[in-house]
Amino acid sequence: MTMWDNFFFIGLPYITIVLLIGGTIYRGLSGIMSGYRGKWDLTARGDYLWTTRSTGFFGRASIGPASLCLHWGVIVLFVAHVAGFIGGAYNLSSWVDFFRWAGLGGGIVFCYGVIWAFVRRIVVPQLRVMSTPDDYIILIFLTVIGGFGLYQSAVELTFGISYSVGPWISSIFRLQPDVAMIAGAPLVNKLHIIVALLFFSYLPFTKLVHLFSYPFGYFTRPYISMRGYLSLKK
């Protein structure tokens, strides 16, 4: 174990947790302090700092594949990683096998979506003009994370690492970090974890903070009758 192992696999995880939770709370409270909406509202904040600035108006033919693959890829990968971590921590081989195949399939779909999103930012003129450095930084992060993950799953076939990463993550949350569990992991696995931790540290301060929103108001709001709405417009 080296000083860098201690920093990246003991210090960085806790820094990430603090920034992820604290940054999200700060972003939510800053909306109140600014008086933009005057209340805490995680369902529809209404300010452009919390949203993704929809780009569906431009390059409609390409938004479908990019959005669907990106979002469904994230969902599949999240479930697969949770299964892999739990399987590794409790020595559940069937869970690790699920992580192997779901992670591989989800990784392919996710990388396809990220590449599509990147190409749209560059090729569609209107989208290129409205893009900010933050948009490109996010896509670079996602490309690198997805690339490392797909490489280790499709080329290196290092799914056995779950039996080391799972207990290591468990030790982090138990406040008894054991870097020895992860110190011997292949370099590609370490890079995948480090870049992911850096990304989650950065996430609350980007437009992706909308991940922590959920449209609870949809369950209680009155439904809209399109027939009645159209008759009112006549």
* Residue 227 pLDDT greater than 60, yes or no: no
Mean pLDDT of 128-145: 87
In one-letter notation, the amino acid at residue 175 is L
User: What is the rounded CA–CA span in Å between residue 30 and residue 167?
Assistant: 37
State yes or no: pLDDT of 65 exceeds 80: no
Query: Mean per-residue pLDDT for 207-224?
Result: 61
Indicate whether 174 pLDDT > 50: yes
Domain boundaries, the chain: 3-38+59-214
pLDDT band at 36 (very low <50, low <70, confident <90, very high): very low
In this prediction, residue 31 has a pLDDT band, given cuts at 50, 70 and 90, of low
Q: What pLDDT is stored for residue 209 in this prediction?
A: 79
Q: For the chain, give the mean pLDDT.
A: 77
**Sole residue written with tokens 């603090």:** 18
List all residues 6 or more positions away from 202 whose beta carbon is below 8 Å from its beta carbon: 19, 137, 141
Domain covering 3-38+59-214: architecture:
Up-down Bundle (1.20)
Output the pLDDT for position 215.
55
Question: What does the pLDDT read at residue 95?
Answer: 87
Higher-confidence residue of 48 and 199: namely: 199
More confident residue, 192 or 163: 192
Residue 44 has a pLDDT of 40
Contact 142, 114 (CB under 8 A): yes
pTM: 0.77
Residue 43 has pLDDT above 60, yes or no: no
Cα dihedral 120→121→126→132 (10° resolution): 160
Alpha-carbon gap, residue 234 to 232, rounded angstroms: 6
- 8 Å CB contact between 165 and 189: yes
Span 179-188, average pLDDT: 84
For 66-116, how does the pLDDT look when each residue is reduced to its tens digit (9 = 90+)?
778 888 888 999 999 998 888 888 888 888 888 888 888 899 999 998 988
Give the percent of the chain with pLDDT over 70.
Answer: 72
Which amino acid, 164? S
Highest mean pLDDT pick, 105-114, 121-130, 131-140: 105-114
Q: Which range, of 10-14, 72-76, 169-173, 180-184, averages the lowest pLDDT?
A: 180-184
pLDDT at residue 15 tops 90: yes
What integer pLDDT is reported at residue 24 of this predicted model? 83
